[in-house]
Every structure is written in structure tokens, then in C-alpha cells.
Amino acid sequence: MNFLLLHPRDQLVAIMNRIYHNGMTTLSGGNLSIKDENGDVWITPSGIDKGKLTPKDMMCVKADGTIEGPHRPSSELPFHRAMYKQRPDLRAIVHAHPPALVSFSIVREVPDTRIIPQANRICGPVGYAPYALPGSEMLGESIAKTFAEGYNIVILENHGVAAGGSTLLDAFHRLETLDFCARTLIRARGLGQVQTLSDPALNLFDHRNNHLPEFVPTSHSSRERELRQQIADIALRAYDRYLMIGTEGVVSARLDENSFLITPTGHDRRHLSNEDIVLIRNGVREAGKMPSRSVRMHEAIYAKHPDINCVMTAQSPNATAYAITAVDFDSRT
């Protein structure tokens, strides 16, 4: 499914469902918006249960100020308008109250995204906006001023978080990734000293080792088709169990002695399909698809360990807390 081909009202419902069911907001909190090509702002309504929203509930604030829809627009409309005015490059805004990020907001701290390279690249620098009354023009000014400094995601003092992006999915991925960092850091601090990555280490993320030569498969065996679907299913299950987030996590499976299948880079782990999975054969990739950045690692594991038929890399906060503190995990419990 191409998420960007959905109507704005359908995109808003889909992302709000993920935010609500992932525990990132309550039934009364959080709001999302999309600014379309006409300058109209599609926004979630005020006073409606966030766990039961439908496309018909979405509100449209026209460029001329006319309001269309069955409810009132979100009370946070002023800060959405202010952000779009300050940052015309932004086309979508996500605002929510994930408990871990709210925890950081009330101790006046910004989560450090340098714990894993993917998070640092997706979120970029994280801003901090001083407190103002929710729904007020002053809050809009405070948030917009912080975003005007170049931040794409901002912690709101004693409130929550706001993220912007070129698409709604882009903004949501920033929110979800920063929330992962916050949850991981909270767990890690109970174990020991958190170790962050240096700039040279972070820059390794920009490698192009997954840009393998291409080939065009001439056929797809029944076994390959089966594995493609299994990989997509496992990625979804891992996401639903908080073992992966939309921007993190890899699954691969050996097809034969010289081939394996692997999840792609740049695809939301919540919505992988069998056609998204990438076939790797003799060191070359299926044409038109880009495999995970860790494809060389998976390839090396299969080459060295012929008894291994599946490899997963995941970043659950509980396990990653050990990885970023270098504390040994004792499995004899």
C-alpha cells in the first residue's frame, strides 16, 4: 500500500490509530494535521475519542479560513497554523503525549538520539519549547519560534511533543523514533552509565554498502513466495510487540545456499508487503529494490553459519538499554 496515495482524512485516521494503540496518547489528547496542495489544513477534531475516529470525523480548515466538517477543529489549531506559517517546507504535524517523552518534558530534558545512528538521522537535533497554556496563541508562538530555528521535532515543556515532516508518515516516524529513545534511556539509566555514539561512528550510517549490483529474477519459487509472506508477517508481529518501530528492525531468511530474502530500507515496518521484500542472490540485489543497510552483515552470517536460516535485528527498549550501557545481560533468571 502506498500510504501517500490515501486521502488526507484517511492518513490522519491511520496515524492516529497507531498513536492511540501504541499508548502515545489518551482518548482525549493529541492532534494531527496535513496541509494539502491547495493550502487547506486537514486536522483531527476536538472532543472526539481518539481511539474511535473515522474519516468522516476529520475537519478541513480552508485556506480562506472556512471550516468544513461535523465537529470543531482541534483546540491546538493555533500552533499548527503558526508552524505552517514559520516553516512552509512542513506539510504535516503530529502532536502527542507519549509517557516517556512527557517524563522528559517535566524534568526539562531532551532525549539524546545519539544512542543509535538511525534515530539521530531521523530525528535530527531535538528542540525544547517553553511552557504555554495548551490551545493558546502563546503556545503556538512558542512552538513556531522553536521550529523556526530549524528543528523538526520539539519537546513541549510540561506537555508533550510536536513533530513536523514533509509527509504525515515522516512526522510520525520522528515522533515514534524519539519515543523509542526516551523509553530506552529511562530503562538504561537504571542499569548504568549511558554511552552515546561519537560523530565518526554516527557518520558510518551514511554508508552505501547496501547499494549492491542488480539482477532481474526470472521466476519466483513457491518456497520464495512463502518466505516473503512470512518475513512480512514476522515484521508486523515484531512491530505490534514493540520489538521494532516503523524505522528500525530487520528480518531475513535463507532461501538456498546462494540466496536469501531481506526486508528493505526506508519502508515502514508496520506495512511491509511480500512484494517489498528484497531477494539477494550471489551478492547482488533484486532490481529496483534497496535492501536493509545491514544486508552485508546478514550475508556474512549466512556464509559463515550454514545451519542458520533466519536472522533478525531488533531494538526493543528493554534489550537496547543493555546495548547502550555495556552492562552484561544475565539470561540465567
Q: Provide the 10 A C-beta neighbour count for residue 171.
A: 26
Predicted confidence (pLDDT) per residue in 13-72, tens digit: 999 999 999 999 998 899 999 999 999 999 999 999 999 999 999 999 999 999 999 999
pLDDT at 20: 96
Give the Cα separation of 61 and 81 in Å (integer).
Answer: 10
Domains of the chain, by residue range, sit at 3-188, 207-322
Nearest to 197 by CA among 106, 319, 320, 329: 320
Question: What's the pLDDT at 40?
Answer: 98
Name the average pLDDT for the chain: 96
To the nearest 10 degrees (0 to 180), the angle between helices 8-21 and 168-188 is 10
* pLDDT tens digit sequence for 238-295: 999 999 999 999 999 999 999 999 999 999 999 999 999 999 999 999 999 999 999 9
Q: Cell numbers at residue 148, please?
A: 523556526
Asked: is 207-322 a CATH 3.40.50.300 domain? The reply is no
User: 184-224: per-residue pLDDT in tens?
Assistant: 999 999 999 999 999 999 998 888 889 999 999 999 999 99
Helix (H) or strand (E) run with residue 81 in it: helix 77-86
Spatial strand order in the sheet of 41-43 = 67-68, 59-61, 41-43, 31-35, 92-96, 160-165, 153-156, 127-129
Give 84's DSSP letter.
H
Query: Which residues have CB under 8 Å from 206's CB, separation 6+?
Result: none
First to last CA, the chain: 42
Dist. CA 186–CA 93, nearest whole Å: 26
Query: Can you read off the three cell numbers belonging to residue 72?
Result: 470543531
Distance CA 236, CA 282 (A): 28
As given in the structure block, the three cell numbers for residue 2 are: 502506498
Residue 286 three-state SS? strand
List, for residues 238-250, the tens digit of each pLDDT value.
Answer: 999 999 999 999 9
Domain 3-188, CATH 3.40.225.10 — does that match?
Answer: yes
Residue 127: what pLDDT?
98
Beta strands 59-61 and 41-43 are antiparallel
User: Cβ distance 91 to 170 under 8 Å?
Assistant: no
| Fold agreement between 3-188 and 207-322 | yes
